[in-house]
Structures are given as C-alpha cells and as structure tokens.
Chains A and B, each alone.
Chain A
Amino acid sequence: MEVTPAVQIDHLVKDFPSPFRKSKVRAVDDVSLTIMPGEVYGLIGPNGSGKSTTMKALLGLLAPTAGSCHVFGKNSMKTDSRQEIGFLPENPYFYKHLSGEETLRFYAKLCGMRGKEVKSRVEEMLEMVSLQDARKRRLGGYSKGMLQRIGLAQALIHAPRLLILDEPTAGVDPVGSRLIRDLIVGLKGRGVTIFLCSHLLEQVQEVCDNVGIIFNGKIVKEGKLAELIAIESQTEVVIKNASPRTLARIRDVISESQSAEFVREGKPKTTLERIFLEEARKSDADNGPPPPEEPAPPTATQPQEKGDPHA
C-alpha cells in the first residue's frame, strides 16, 4: 500500500507585492519537497531565504502564488489539514495573562477536546515539558526557555502527526536548548514527523534525517543528512589510550598500502556546549536537585558516550 507523505510541497512559488515597485518580490521560487511519516526534516538557510514563508504556506497562513502544499494528503489551505499539525513559531509570545495550565487548556479546547480529555492531556503535556511546578504561574513570569517549552506543549496538545518548528531554540540558553532537542529526539522516537526550520546548523545536524538547504527562495541542495555530510573517500578511526609506538605502527601500515594515504592525526576536540552542560550538571549536583522551572537536561539522552569526546 502506498504511504501518503506527511508533507508534500509541489513547485511552491510565493510572490509578495513590493511597495514602491511594479514587480513583485519572489520569496519562494519553485520549492518542492516531500517528507515521509516519521522523518525529521531540517530546512536550513540564512535569514530571509524563504524558510518561514514555506512554513507559513504549509500552515495555510499564506496562500501560494503557484504550486501547492499538502499535509497527509490534505490541501494546507483547508482547515482540516491543521488537525494533524502542531506548530511552534519563532519567539512565541503567548497570552501573558494566562497561566501555563490555562494556556494548554485553551489550545486543547480550540482543537475540539472537552472534559476529561482536556485534563488528562494537559497533565501529560506539562509533565513532558517539566513545567508541573510552574503550571499556575502566569506566562508573563516565564523565562524564555520555559515559554519555548510551553509552546512545544501547546503544539503537541492535540497529538498531531506533524510537528512544525520555527527556530525552536532561538534565544534559549544551552541547558534549555538541550532540553528542547531531547524532546524533539523523544518525539522522533514516538514516530512524530518533524519539520524543523533553523539556521543553527549544529542543531539540525543533531536531530534531522533529511536536510534541505534554501537560498534566495530556492532549494539548492537536498538529501539524507548522513549522505550529505559524509566524505566518502575518507575513514575516521578514533583510538583511546594509544601509545606513540602504536600510532607509529598504524602510520607504517598505512604507508605500506598502495592506495591509502595518511591525512592527519591529532586530539579530537570536544564542544564548548558540552563543557557548559557538564559544568551545569556538576553545579546542580552540588546545589541539590535542579529548580523545577529550569531542570537540568536528562543525561540518559545525551549523545555523548563515555570516552567518546567526538560524539
């Protein structure tokens, strides 16, 4: 049986009128992409490249000048297509007068949920984003990271099959950023299709299966992330506790080979983010349990393995 794509964008074109010119500004130029169910797709590009316009067309907030967008086979301009979509905009400012719990209840009811279903779903979402202790606090008092997490919770309140994220970690500190990334990885594990727009390349590289690069409204490169970033002619070997003698022998073996060539040798480097998170974790351990509104990232989902500073 043929599987319906989660997202199908066909030859999307979007023009905007220019205030002082007769000609229009083309924000998106013949973009086509397909995302299958369960995939995590990252659309990367600089500011003003057409990422947000593509996303808004997919959400029905903009009407395509030409081409079409479909979500699980439904035209994105139809209200029904949004039943399958959860959306977190960049830097969302929710209603500050509502508490976290009230915000989730409001969005749940908008999605047609009622009674016990709302209550249980709100509980589930607050637990997922670790905001149970801040549930009664008004959003006006939330930190940036907490706002982003409540935003993620509202996006997922109706259990959508497709999650659209616009710069989900923009302006969030590394700890909050890691937590959001962990949530995305968790959702991917549960089979949720994710369409992520970002210009933070490292973030995209960590979570995406497929990537599209957009410049001046055109997709210039697209494909599986693993294939795009691999240097096919080279092989990387990381050795732990190797003595100078062992390394010398390895170099000799390589030089004996007719086709292989030794390229470089050196100490792999860790990342500044990893050092920051490690220190944050130590600090939390010294000061007791982390505060509920900004809990430390769960270590179980850290991609770094013991003794593997590259990971």
Chain B
Amino acid sequence: MRRNGFFSPARISVIAGHTFTQLVRMKVFYFLVVFALLMLATSFFEMPWSRVTEDSAEQELIILKSTAMGAMAMFSALFAIAATALLIPKDLEDRTLYTILSKPVPRLDYLLGKLVGVLMLVAVSLLLMDALLTVILHFRTEELLAAEMEKGKGLGWPQQYLDIRREAISQQGVTWDLQAGIAAIFFKAMIMASIALLISTFSSSTLFTIVIAVVIYFIGHFTADARNYWLHSQKEGVSKEIKFLSQSAALIFPDFQLYNVIDATIEGKKINSGIISRLAVLALFYSGIYSVLAWFTFRKKEF
C-alpha cells in the first residue's frame, strides 16, 4: 500500500496543473486581447505639439510603459484575487471537493495545489503581456531613437550630445530593470493570491472573499505611511506593547509600498538586484504565513 506523506510535491503539481487547465478553459486569457488593444492604442500615442520638450521621446516611452505596467498590475492582482476566491467555493458547491478529499489527498496539498495553479496562470499571463510589451516597446524605442538622431543631426548636435540622448532614450526602452519591475508585479499578485486563499477557507461567499481581499490590497498600499505617522505622533516615545501591535499589523497587512520599485522601473531608473531578491524573499515569507494560516483553518473544516 502507498504511504501518504504530510506533503507531496507530486500531488501538489497534479492539483496545480488541473487548476491551471480549469482556469485556461474558463477562457480567462480573453483579457489578453484587451491588453493587446490597449498596447497598440498607446503605441500610436504621440506627445501633443504644444507640449513637445527636449525629453518628449522618453515621455512617450514612459507613458507606454506606465499604461502597460498599470494594466499588468491590475490584471494580475484581479486574477490572483478572483481566481483564488472562486475555486474552493466552486469545488464545494459542485461537490467535486468531496471526491478529491475522499482520495488520499492531504488538505495542505489541495490548498497549495490551488494556490500554485493560480500563480502559474498569473505567471503565464504576465509572461505573455511582458512579451507583447517588450516587442512594442522595442520597436517604438527604435523608431523614436531614429527620429531623435535624425533631428539632432539636422540641428547639428555634437556626437557627444547625440550619445547622451541615445543613452537617455535607450534607458526608457527594453531593459532588465523593466523585467525586475514585472517580477515585482508578480510578487504582489502572489501575496494577494495567498491572502484570498486564507479568506476563502473561512468565508462562506466568493463576493465576501473578493471584497475583503481588495480592502487588504488598498490598506497594504498606505499601511507604512499610517504606521509611521502614528508612531511619530506618540510624544512620550514608543512602548513595547505599541511596537508589538505595530509589528503585528505589519504581519497582517503586507506593506505594498515596498513594491514601489515598479514605479521606478517605469521611470527608467536602475534597480539593484539585491532589492528584487529581498522583495522575492518577502513575497515568499508573506505567502508562506498566509498559506500556513489557511491550512490551519482548512485542516479541521467540516463539509
């Protein structure tokens, strides 16, 4: 007879693969068409004549990146929350959960399989959007560079200045820093999916899970500011209890401001690889905490 361990990567991959197929067959990739249209529309955007400045080319590329990355961040967060919130209640409603849990499947494997499946979908979606952005951004950058160089030569700019302009425009094109920004979008979606997973283990409705997850998402964007303001307003210093309370709040509500590197990459700034590694570790830490809490709620849940 087969022995069933507490945790089986093979079984998790079976559930994850199935969850991915389930979401793909729900035709969720249709949103990519919307993204593609958005990208094409933005790529034709040109700065109005009245606002043309020396760095118009960079501004156009920034607008393109900002639109794309904004859409990517929104789609991935929305996907991560909605798909995770939908899957477990749907399995319960359709009684497919009975047939899965009546097999030798530990409940931790089931939860992690669902989470990994959703994350696979988010990752594939981001890769496809990334590929599209990279292609459009590459051609747009080349186009703007050629126009800028032609304009510069016509105006008799010295070679040194032409090189500076080339460098400045290229920095707003396809770079590894931009890829780091997209990785940060994935990390945020990863945290949101695990939060939705935790809520769906005790929530009785999909809508409740989605609403609470979205509220946590927004709280996460200004939790750091709120905490700093509050701690600095304590005139007589910070007691141990208050410090503990503040740290606990930080654990419950992740600080999404840490992921503001996305904005920096849109502006074409350089991102230190150490920062991305730290963000990855932080995302794993938060997802781990929320998954353990989800398992803790789900392991004794009665159906």
Given A61-B98, A79-B105, A91-B95: A109 and B14 within 8 A (CB)?
yes
A82 touches B103 (CB 8 A): yes
Most-contacted residue by chain B among A94, A97, A164 (CB, 10 A): A97
B98 touches A110 (CB 8 A): no
Kindly list chain A residues whose C-beta atoms are within 8 Å of the C-beta of B95.
89, 91-93
Name A residues whose Cβ lies closer than 8 Å to a Cβ of B.
Answer: 56, 59-63, 79-80, 82-85, 87-89, 91-95, 97-98, 106-107, 109-112, 114, 151, 154-155, 158, 164
* Selected contact of B303 from candidates A61, A84, A88, A91, CB within 8 Å: A61
How long is the Cα–Cα vector from A59 to B15 in the complex, in angstroms?
20
Most-contacted residue by chain A among B1, B2, B18, B26 (CB, 10 A): B18
A59 touches B102 (CB 8 A): yes
Kindly list chain B residues whose C-beta atoms are within 8 Å of the C-beta of A109.
11, 14
B84-101 residues at the A interface, CB under 8 angstroms = 94-96, 98-101
Kindly list chain A residues whose C-beta atoms are within 8 Å of the C-beta of B106.
79
User: Contact mask B1-37 → A, CB, 8 Å, 1/0?
Assistant: 1111000101100110010011001100000000000
Number of interface residues of B (CB under 8 A): 29
A87 touches B102 (CB 8 A): yes
9 A-B pairs with least C-beta separation: A87-B102, A97-B25, A93-B94, A109-B14, A82-B104, A83-B104, A61-B303, A89-B98, A59-B102
B96 touches A83 (CB 8 A): no
Shortest C-beta distance, A34 to chain B (Å), equals 21
* Selected contact of A111 from candidates B3, B26, B96, B104, CB within 8 Å: B104
> Can you list 15 pairs linking A and B with CB atoms under 8 Å apart?
A79-B106, A83-B2, A83-B104, A88-B99, A93-B94, A94-B96, A94-B99, A98-B21, A106-B14, A107-B103, A109-B11, A110-B100, A110-B103, A111-B2, A111-B103
Kindly list chain A residues whose C-beta atoms are within 8 Å of the C-beta of B21.
97-98
A95 touches B22 (CB 8 A): yes
Shortest C-beta distance, B16 to chain A (Å), equals 12
A92 touches B4 (CB 8 A): no
How long is the Cα–Cα vector from A83 to B103 in the complex, in angstroms?
7
Kindly list chain A residues whose C-beta atoms are within 8 Å of the C-beta of B4.
79-80, 83, 112
How long is the Cα–Cα vector from A92 to B18 in the complex, in angstroms?
18
A97 touches B22 (CB 8 A): yes
Kindly list chain B residues whose C-beta atoms are within 8 Å of the C-beta of A110.
11, 14-15, 100, 103-105
Task: Judge if B54 is at the interface, Cβ distance under 8 Å.
Answer: no
Given A82-B102, A95-B22, A110-B15: A62 and B303 within 8 A (CB)?
yes
